[in-house]
C-alpha cells in the first residue's frame, strides 16, 4: 500500500508540528477543566451522574468534530501555502487517494483525543456501572 | 520519436490568454531551452506539460502519451523541478527523498540506495540527516533537483534549476544535467533567464513572448531568422594616424570602444572574409592585436525578438548606436 505513506507522513507531520501536539494538550486541558468543574462546582456537582456523563460525552464529540474540521482543512491548505502540494500532485498518486489519506490521519488524531477522554469518563462514572456505556456512546 | 510534442496547447484565465496555442516538438534526447520575459507563459506551459494544470485548448504528448488521457503514466516517466518548491521543513533531506521514492512505489531497499546516490550526486551527502529547515537556498534547490530525479525520469522539466546557487554549484548542476542527457539519454526541457547557459547547454531554443512562441530552433536558426551575418571584431593599436587611416574604409565599420592605446571595431559587411580585412589593415599599416569572427549571441537575439511592440527601435540597437557610432561620425573620438 504505497498510499499509506501520505497517511504516515501526515500523522508524523501532525506530531512534529504544532497541529497534533497543540490539539492534544488543549483537549486534555479542556477535559480536565470540565471534569473538575463537574465534580467540584457547587451547582454542576448537583447534576445526576448520568446527566454529568452525558454532558461530558457531548463535549468530547463537539471537540472531536471541531478538531476534525480545522485539521482537515489545514491539511490541504498548509500543502498549498507551503508549496508542497505541486510536488505531491506530480507523483502518480490519484488526487482522491491524497485526500483520503489526509482525512484518515485526521480521524486517527480524533481517535487519540477519544482515548485521552476515557480516563476522565471512568472517573466521572466512579461508583456506577455507566463508564462502559458512556465510552461506547461517544 | 518526439519526447514532447504539443498541438495548439493554450491556457486562458478569464479573458487573459496566458499561453496562446503553442505547437512545437522536442526530440527524445534533446535539451530544449524555453526562454522569454517574465509573464511570457513559460511556467504555465511547463505545468500543462507536467499535468498539474489542465490546458484550455489543444493537447500535448509526452513520450507519445496524451497528457489529457494518460496523465498518471506520464507522471511516472517525467521529473519536474518547479521554480519555487516547498519542503516539509521538519524532515531531513534523506527522509524527504525517501518519502517521494515511496510515493513512486520504489521498493524500500532500492529507495534507500537511490536516495543515498542522489544525495551524493547533488552534493548533499554530508547534510543528509539535517532538517530541511536548516538548508540554505542553494541546498534546497539541490534537494529539489534530487527529488525530480528520484523516479529516473526519461524527460526532465526544469524551471530555473540553478536559482540561488553559487557559481560552483551552478557548474556542478550543469555538468550533472549534461551527463544525464549524454549517458542516460534524458530529454531536458529547461526554462531559465540565464541566456548564456541556454546558448551553451541547449541544442534547441524556443522564445516565448506574451504567450506565443515567436521563434524556435537551434541558435543558428534563430540567427538566420534575424538575417544575422557574421561580423568581425578587430582590435588595433592606436596612434596619431589611426583616425586618418580609418577615414575611408572599404567595409562597413563600427567603432565599438576607444582607449588610449587601442581601438575596437566591428566590421559587419555581408560575406566579408578575414583575409580581406587583414590585407586592408596591412595596406593601411594598421597593427592589430585581436581579430575574430563574431556572431549574434542569444542575448541580442532575445532582445530583438522580444522588444516591446511600441518601441520602433529595439533596445539593443539603441545601445549599439550610443556605444558604437559609425566611423565617419566619430572621428573626434579617435
ipTM attached to this prediction: 0.77
- Do A92 and B50 lie within an 8 Å CB cutoff? no
- Do A91 and B73 lie within an 8 Å CB cutoff? no
- Do B86 and A89 lie within an 8 Å CB cutoff? no
- Do B72 and A94 lie within an 8 Å CB cutoff? yes
The H-or-E segment that residue B168 falls in is helix B167-184
Q: Looking at chain A, how many residues does it have? A: 138
- Do B52 and A92 lie within an 8 Å CB cutoff? no
Give the gyration radius of chain A's Cα atoms: 18
- Do B75 and A92 lie within an 8 Å CB cutoff? yes
| pLDDT surpassing 60 at residue A1 | no
Q: What is the spatial distance between Cα B142 and Cα B302, in angstroms, rounded to a whole number?
A: 28
Q: Which residues of A touch B102 (CB under 8 A)?
A: 2, 5
Task: Name the average pLDDT for chain A.
Answer: 85
Among chain B residues, CA nearest to A91? B75
Q: How far is CA B56 from CA A4, A40, B39, B70, B283, in A?
A: 33, 65, 18, 17, 65
Task: Give strand pairing partners of B131.
Answer: B92
pLDDT at B154: 95
pLDDT at B229: 65
Q: What is the pLDDT of residues B119-128, one digit of tens each?
A: 999 999 999 9
DSSP at B230: P
Largest CA distance in chain A: 60
Highest averaged pLDDT of the listed ranges A47-56, A98-107, B262-271? A98-107
Helix (H, G, I), strand (E, B) or coil at B214: strand
DSSP at B252: -
Helix (H, G, I), strand (E, B) or coil at B180: helix
Q: Which residue has the cell 585581436?
A: B290
pLDDT at B102: 92
Interface test with A, best of B80, B96, B102 (most A CBs within 10 A): B102
Helix (H, G, I), strand (E, B) or coil at B257: strand
Q: What is the pLDDT of residues A48-85, one digit of tens each?
A: 888 888 888 999 999 889 888 888 888 888 888 888 99
Q: Which residues of A touch B99 (CB under 8 A)?
A: 5, 9
Q: Is B106 exposed, middle or buried (0-12, 13-18, 19+ CB in 10 A)?
A: buried
CA of A10, closest CA in chain B: separation in Å? 10
One-character DSSP codes across B223-263: HHHTTPPPEEEEEEE--TTHHHHTSS-SS-EEEEEE-SSEE
- Do A93 and B102 lie within an 8 Å CB cutoff? no
| pLDDT surpassing 70 at residue A116 | yes
- Closest CB to A90 among B52, B86, B99: B52
Asked whether the beta carbons of B48 and B59 are under 8 A apart, the reply is no
**What's the grid cell of residue B6?**
504539443
One-character DSSP codes across A17-43: SHHHHHHHHHHHHHHHHHHHHHHHSTT
Q: Which residues of A touch B87 (CB under 8 A)?
A: 82, 84
Q: Which residues of A touch B82 (CB under 8 A)?
A: 83, 86-87
- Do B52 and A5 lie within an 8 Å CB cutoff? no
CA of A16, closest CA in chain B: separation in Å? 7
CA of B104, closest CA in chain A: separation in Å? 6
Q: In sequence order, what are the residues at sequence separation of 6 or more whose Cβ sits closer than 8 angstroms to the Cβ of residue A11?
A: A20, A105, A108, A109
CA of B41, closest CA in chain A: separation in Å? 18
pTM over 0.90: no
pLDDT at B250: 85
Amino acid at each position: 500500500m504505497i498510499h499509506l505513506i501520505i497517511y504516515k507522513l501526515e500523522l508524523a507531520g501532525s506530531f512534529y508540528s504544532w497541529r497534533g501536539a497543540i490539539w492534544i494538550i488543549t483537549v486534555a486541558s479542556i477535559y480536565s477543566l470540565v471534569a473538575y468543574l463537574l465534580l467540584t462546582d457547587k451547582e454542576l456537582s448537583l447534576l445526576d451522574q448520568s446527566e454529568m456523563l452525558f454532558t461530558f460525552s457531548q463535549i468530547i464529540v463537539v471537540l472531536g468534530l471541531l478538531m476534525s474540521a480545522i485539521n482537515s482543512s489545514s491539511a490541504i491548505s498548509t500543502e498549498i501555502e507551503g508549496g508542497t502540494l505541486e510536488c505531491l500532485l506530480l507523483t502518480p498518486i490519484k488526487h482522491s487517494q491524497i485526500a483520503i489519506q489526509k482525512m484518515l490521519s485526521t480521524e486517527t488524531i480524533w481517535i487519540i483525543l477519544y482515548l485521552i477522554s476515557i480516563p476522565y469518563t471512568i472517573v466521572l462514572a466512579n461508583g456506577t456501572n455507566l463508564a462502559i456505556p458512556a465510552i461506547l456512546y461517544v | 520519436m518526439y519526447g514532447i510534442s504539443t498541438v495548439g496547447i493554450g491556457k486562458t484565465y478569464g479573458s487573459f490568454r496566458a499561453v496562446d496555442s503553442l505547437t512545437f516538438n522536442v526530440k527524445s534526447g534533446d535539451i530544449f531551452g524555453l526562454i522569454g520575459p517574465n509573464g511570457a507563459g513559460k511556467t504555465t506551459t511547463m505545468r500543462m506539460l507536467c499535468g498539474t494544470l489542465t490546458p484550455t485548448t489543444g493537447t500535448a504528448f509526452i513520450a507519445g502519451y496524451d497528457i489529457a488521457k494518460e496523465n498518471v503514466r506520464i507522471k511516472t516517466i517525467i521529473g519536474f523541478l518547479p521554480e519555487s518548491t516547498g519542503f516539509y521543513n521538519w524532515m531531513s533531506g534523506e527522509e524527504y527523498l525517501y518519502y517521494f521514492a515511496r510515493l513512486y512505489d520504489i521498493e524500500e531497499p532500492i529507495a534507500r540506495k537511490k536516495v543515498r546516490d542522489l544525495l551524493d550526486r547533488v552534493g548533499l551527502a554530508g547534510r543528509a540527516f539535517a532538517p530541511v529547515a536548516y538548508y540554505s537556498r542553494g541546498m534546497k534547490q539541490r534537494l529539489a533537483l534530487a527529488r525530480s530525479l528520484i523516479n529516473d525520469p526519461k524527460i526532465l522539466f526544469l524551471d530555473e534549476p540553478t536559482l540561488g546557487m553559487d557559481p560552483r554549484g551552478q557548474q556542478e548542476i550543469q555538468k550533472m544535467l549534461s551527463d544525464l542527457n549524454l549517458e542516460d539519454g534524458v530529454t531536458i526541457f529547461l526554462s531559465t533567464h540565464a541566456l548564456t547557459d541556454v546558448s551553451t547547454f541547449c541544442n534547441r531554443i524556443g522564445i516565448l513572448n506574451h504567450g506565443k512562441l515567436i521563434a524556435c530552433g537551434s541558435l543558428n536558426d534563430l540567427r538566420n531568422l534575424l538575417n544575422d551575418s557574421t561580423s568581425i571584431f578587430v582590435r588595433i593599436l592606436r596612434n596619431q594616424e589611426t583616425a586618418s587611416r580609418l577615414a575611408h574604409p572599404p567595409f562597413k565599420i563600427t567603432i565599438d570602444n576607444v582607449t588610449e592605446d587601442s581601438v575596437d571595431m566591428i566590421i559587419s559587411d555581408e560575406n566579408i572574409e578575414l583575409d580581406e580585412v587583414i590585407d586592408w589593415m596591412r595596406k593601411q599599416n594598421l597593427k592589430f592585436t585581436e581579430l575574430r569572427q563574431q556572431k549574434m549571441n542569444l542575448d541580442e537575439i532575445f532582445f530583438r525578438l522580444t522588444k516591446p511592440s511600441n518601441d520602433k527601435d529595439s533596445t539593443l540597437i539603441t545601445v549599439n548606436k550610443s556605444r558604437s557610432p559609425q566611423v565617419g561620425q566619430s572621428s573626434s573620438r579617435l
